[in-house]
Amino acid sequence: MFFLAGTHELSIDSKNRLSIPFAIRRKLSEEQDGQSFYAVPGRRPGTLSLYPEKYYERLRANLPGDDQLSEEAYAYRQFEYSQSALLEPDAQGRVLIPERLLKRLGLEKDVVLIAVRDHLELWRKADFEAFEASMWTQYPQARAKAMDEMKASAAAMQGAAG
């Protein structure tokens, strides 16, 4: 398992290429994680999540089969996979982001790439700056609440496994 952290202010060039910073690329093992990324719509509107190829495939491998899903869950699966793309890096570590995803998400030239533990998120620069400013104003309270939730979730997972 790898661990990703950090914030990178970047630009998408005129050919829709994004350079993945070397600090991130060196954390990924070709054998374990792959050098490509799956781009999927992010959890937050207007963001794009990037998961290392082999890691994402392992995450999705154990999900229930299509026949085990409700129509609603299956429709979501259809949507998510249809809106995803495998991004292959070139020799300079740049990935080509499909125009349709950039337009749909409103991503333009100036972006922020953040690392969130096991994946990356691509944000509009202004949106990330607003998010960051709002989080700093409530940092102590948000941290305490999140830590409590993560501890409770970890305890529940241990209880279910043991």
CATH number at residue 73: 3.40.1550.20
Q: Kindly state the average pLDDT of the residues 62-76.
A: 94
Q: What average pLDDT does the chain have?
A: 94
Range(s) of the domain holding residue 33: 4-125
In a domain, 152, yes or no: no
Query: What is the pLDDT at residue 137?
Result: 95
Residue 97: is its pLDDT beyond 70? Answer: yes
Burial of 106 (0-12, 13-18, 19+ CB in 10 A): exposed
In a domain, 157, yes or no: no
Structurally, how many domains does the chain consist of?
1
Higher pLDDT, 9 or 35: 9
Query: What is the pLDDT at residue 29?
Result: 79
In a domain, 142, yes or no: no
In a domain, 151, yes or no: no
Residue 162: is its pLDDT beyond 90? Answer: no
What sign does the dihedral 46-48-124-14 (CA atoms) show? Answer: negative
pTM score, whole prediction: 0.90
